[in-house]
DNA sequence: TGCCAGGATGATG
DNA sequence: CATCATCATGGC
């Protein structure tokens, strides 16, 4: 029997607000001055930050180890990663001004679905659509918390069943993803063990998953920290910063660099 | 290549 | 107030 309690950690390079609200995950909401609440892996969690101290409220030691540690990428040395990124004069600004962003390792299906919804969309509405999807089809976890619905539930709902979430033209893509994944047509093990482009090819079998969504899913859903959306990176941000191409220093952690740049640009 | 399919939201004029 | 672009697409 697991006991719910509060787990406290000391962790530098972890800014709760930036990590939870930088456009990589869409299910966290600010509930207080330094307090956030959300659901991942069918578990609700409240987080509080005080300087370097982070409290994980309402979890168990087991869940902290098996779910939240990998979810918040707590075993990665972000100080080392950020130092490496800061060696690049262009990234330095973004990493310094937006310090403390960690890459969340979300559930693969949730990441795929979330980034399908992100196509030609904006963050407030992405959040709204996902919230309605979870309320409509997700398991009720008590209180105001709902799990992200299983692909089976979503597939069963069908395009018409998704009407209330108001996903627009994306509904048919969500259903295609739910169907293919619930039938086992997408080989998750292969994605985990393959090089980036092969994993991307597997994901692109899903309608609504293009090159960029595939890279997002690899980064946020499969922990492939070197994946990043080439188009967004190069054309939007890097074009001004890097007329001569990508900096070498980000090899190995490009996804992390991308997230810092994305958040930095959003705050300009 | 460019546009559009839903539509809400924040930025901007 | 109006108008515009929006984080990741696909089909015409």
Q: Can you give the CATH number for the domain in which A36 is found?
A: 3.30.310.260
What gap in Å lies between CA A205 and CA A77, rounded to an integer?
34
Nearest to A131 by CA among A87, A88, A167, A94: A167
Q: Residue A27 above 80 pLDDT?
A: yes
Nucleotides of C under 7 A from a protein CB: 5-11
- Across residues A98-125, what is the average pLDDT? 94
Domain limits for position A157: 108-221
A209 in the same domain as A143: yes
What gap in Å lies between CA A119 and CA A233, rounded to an integer?
16
What gap in Å lies between CA A132 and CA A128, rounded to an integer?
6
- Across residues A7-26, what is the average pLDDT? 95
User: Residue A256 phi/psi, 5° resolution?
Assistant: -65, -45
Residue pair A79/A65 in contact by the 8 Å Cβ criterion:
no
Q: Is residue A28's beta carbon less than 7 angstroms from any atom in nucleic acid strand C?
A: no
- Across residues A241-252, what is the average pLDDT? 72
* The pair of three-digit structure tokens given for residue A45, joined into one six-digit string: 């969690």
Return the pLDDT at A71. 98
- In sequence order, the β-bridge partners of residue A60 are A4
Using a 10 angstrom Cβ sphere, with 0-12 exposed, 13-18 middle and 19 or more buried, the burial of residue A235 is: exposed
Return the pLDDT at A249. 67
Q: Residue A230 above 70 pLDDT?
A: no
Q: Is residue A135's beta carbon less than 7 angstroms from any atom in nucleic acid strand B?
A: no
* Nearest residue by alpha-carbon distance to C1' of C6: A122
Q: Residue A241 above 90 pLDDT?
A: no
Q: How many beta carbons lie within 10 A of that of residue A122, not counting itself?
A: 10
Residue pair A22/A14 in contact by the 8 Å Cβ criterion:
no
A209 in the same domain as A119: yes
Q: Out of A57-61, A121-125, A237-241, which region has the weakest mean confidence (pLDDT)?
A: A237-241
What gap in Å lies between CA A8 and CA A10, rounded to an integer?
7
Q: Which residue has the tokens 């069918």?
A: A42
- Say which DSSP state A234 is in: I
Domain count, chain A: 3
Q: Is residue A266's beta carbon less than 7 angstroms from any atom in nucleic acid strand B?
A: no
A46 in the same domain as A91: no
User: Residue A221 phi/psi, 5° resolution?
Assistant: -110, -25
Q: Residue A164 above 70 pLDDT?
A: yes
A197 in the same domain as A131: yes
Q: Is residue A30's beta carbon less than 7 angstroms from any atom in nucleic acid strand B?
A: no
Q: Is residue A57 assigned to a domain?
A: yes
Kindly report the pTM of this predicted structure.
0.94
Query: How many angstroms separate the CA of A157 from the C1' of B10?
Result: 32
Nearest to A70 by CA among A254, A249, A255, A225: A225
A66 in the same domain as A19: yes
- Across residues A170-185, what is the average pLDDT? 96
Nearest to A53 by CA among A79, A16, A78: A16
């Amino acid at each position: 029997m697991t006991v719910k309690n509060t787990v406290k950690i000391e962790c530098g390079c972890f800014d709760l607000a930036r990590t939870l609200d930088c456009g990589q995950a869409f299910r966290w909401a600010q509930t207080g001055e330094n307090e956030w609440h959300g659901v991942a892996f069918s578990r609700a969690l409240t987080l509080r930050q005080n300087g370097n101290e982070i409290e994980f409220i309402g979890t168990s030691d087991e869940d902290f180890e098996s779910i939240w540690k990998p979810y918040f990428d707590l075993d990665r040395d972000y100080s080392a990663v950020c130092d490496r990124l800061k060696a690049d004069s262009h990234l330095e600004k973004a990493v310094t001004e937006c310090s403390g962003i960690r890459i969340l390792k979300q559930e693969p299906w949730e990441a795929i679905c979330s980034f399908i919804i992100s196509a030609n969309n904006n963050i407030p509405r992405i959040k709204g659509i996902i919230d309605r999807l979870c309320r409509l089809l997700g398991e009720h976890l008590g209180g105001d918390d709902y799990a992200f619905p299983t692909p089976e539930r979503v597939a069963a709902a069908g395009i018409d069943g998704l009407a209330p979430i108001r996903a627009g033209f994306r509904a048919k893509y969500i259903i295609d993803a739910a169907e293919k994944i619930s039938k086992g047509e997408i080989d998750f093990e292969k994605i985990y063990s393959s090089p980036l482009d092969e994993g991307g090819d597997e994901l692109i079998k899903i309608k609504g998953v293009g090159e960029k969504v595939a890279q997002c899913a690899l980064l946020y859903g499969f922990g492939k920290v070197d994946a990043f959306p080439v188009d967004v990176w190069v054309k939007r941000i890097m074009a001004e910063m890097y007329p001569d191409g990508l900096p070498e220093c980000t090899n190995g952690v490009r996804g992390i660099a991308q997230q810092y740049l994305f958040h930095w640009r959003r705050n300009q």
